[in-house]
Structure 1
């Protein structure tokens, strides 16, 4: 029987309900100085707003070394009712910098850390914190019931048309952890680039495209390309709503309509990836994570109907987040 691994334990895929495939509750990066997500009450308030707006599950997409707090995520999940899938893996190199301890790890060390997060539990202190020792000798994070908090998703990140030595080690480590566990894989595509290329690399490491989410695919809003990627089996993560400096929400709706019109509805996912304290209502900013259900989804339902929205928001996440399935 397949399952989805959440921070409060394994659940049936059918229990997820409407799912936001990509958000962050805790995150710190040199690329986002001053916009850190590091306050538990504020992140809980933001999560509660998303849950009250009708989203009942989410992926917390912060990987290793960027300020993860798995125990706090579990507390937020328990307090709000939101089912949360935590993430292991690593982002693209620019988020760490040359002095970050993770940058010097070998592929084998990375794979061991990622697999331990999935199977044994995430460390209570993230890699790179003052008292962390490469994840060894650090207590495992516990949920409010005293159980280990385990990750349910593997993540890798790429630069813009760039896969450097660190990113290549991470991809290899993610593939190894996937082969050992059956956990799903998410890949950050910078501006939507290198999608076919990363699927090729993962396929060479025995990761089927049907187990892969291509995050930010919509940052390159090319419906023909997206149909090609979906035909390979990959899931396309769309999270560009409320980014009006780049393009209006109508452009994303048109992209979804075009890809669905080619029969690829079942390979689309939606998320906000709001990811900044200045953009979270819980931290005093806007538009907040609830922009997705409150502002974007009503327009999408008007254009495509409730059945299409259900297939994107409920059915597709339930498939791809389940461990050990072919997608």
Structure 2
């Protein structure tokens, strides 16, 4: 008997068909030495931003803050319950610069990282991030808050020793648990190199999301990547110093027209206190649904927009049986 696919959220597993319109990349809690003054650490304010996202028509989001960066799984679960927003939490690690010198996570060997990330998926995320895991965080109903995605990150045209260990541990976690892997690409660099590393570790491209692909608006490169089966995350909207929304939309249109529409995801990655209205900044989490998505609908149509927001996220976030991954690797 084949069971319908499910997605692991902070409030439990839900049928993939019920996920709805998904913003694939946001942050409700985040504290990093790389981002002084931009801490997301207030549950009330972050909850207000999540509520605004939900009110603007988004049904689900990925909380993309990995290990050691101020995440609050219990707080995320409370926000999810209060807003009705499905939230998929990540485990994993970020690129090296997000961790201070001597941070305990950067000292972990690959096997320890893989065990930790896998435990986050199977048993629950720890209430407090420390090398000694301690008790798992629990949601409003008392159940453990489990991760449904594993993250890795690399620097600009660089995969250092720590980042390579995280990639390998992320791949092992994906193969053993069925979750997908999201990889932060700094300025969209090293995409092929990351895919090659993950393939060496036994993870097929169709279980990988490359975040920030649109920080390098190269439709030819994106066509190559989507043809290889990988998912590309477009999340640079409202970052007008780097590229206009129209440039992001132009690239999106060209890649979709070339056949890549089944491998594209949309998110905001607003990710800063100074960019959240509830913290006193702009433009807020609802910029994506309120300002960008209507332009996608007007230019590319409702059918493609539904694929980008509903069909594609549901496919990649669904837990994939281990046997399927092993047969593909």
Q: TM-score with structure 1 length normalisation? A: 0.96
Cα RMSD between the aligned structures?
Answer: 1.0
Counterpart of 1:193 in structure 2 is 189
Question: Paired residue for 2:156, among 155, 160, 168?
Answer: 160
SS in 2 for 1:185: strand
Counterpart of 1:304 in structure 2 is 300
Aligned length: 320
Can you list the C-alpha shifts for 1:96-142, whole angstroms capped at 9, x where unaligned? 02221111111111111100000000000123xxxxxx143x11100
Alignment of 1:1-327 (within 5 A): 1=3, 2-127=5-130, 134-136=131-133, 138-324=134-320
The answer on whether the counterparts of 1:24 and 1:273 sit within 8 Å (CA) in structure 2 is yes
The answer on whether the counterparts of 1:277 and 1:283 sit within 8 Å (CA) in structure 2 is yes
In 2, Cα distance between equivalents of 1:22 and 1:29: 17
In 2, Cα distance between equivalents of 1:92 and 1:9: 28
Shift of 1:175: 1.2
The answer on whether the counterparts of 1:28 and 1:38 sit within 8 Å (CA) in structure 2 is yes
SS in 2 for 1:10: strand
Q: Where does structure 2 lack aligned partners over 5 or more consecutive residues?
A: none
In 1, Cα distance between equivalents of 2:13 and 2:283: 31
Can you list the C-alpha shifts for 1:244-269, whole angstroms capped at 9, x where unaligned? 11111000110010001101101000
SS in 1 for 2:152: strand
SS in 1 for 2:34: helix
Shift of 1:144: 0.2
The answer on whether the counterparts of 1:35 and 1:278 sit within 8 Å (CA) in structure 2 is yes
> Would you identify which runs of 4 or more consecutive aligned residues in structure 1 move more than 3 Å?
none
Q: Where does structure 1 lack aligned partners over 5 or more consecutive residues?
A: 128-133
The answer on whether the counterparts of 1:18 and 1:55 sit within 8 Å (CA) in structure 2 is yes
Can you list the C-alpha shifts for 1:12-46, whole angstroms capped at 9, x where unaligned? 11111110000000001011011000000000000
Shift of 1:173: 0.8
Shift of 1:284: 1.4
In 2, Cα distance between equivalents of 1:103 and 1:213: 23
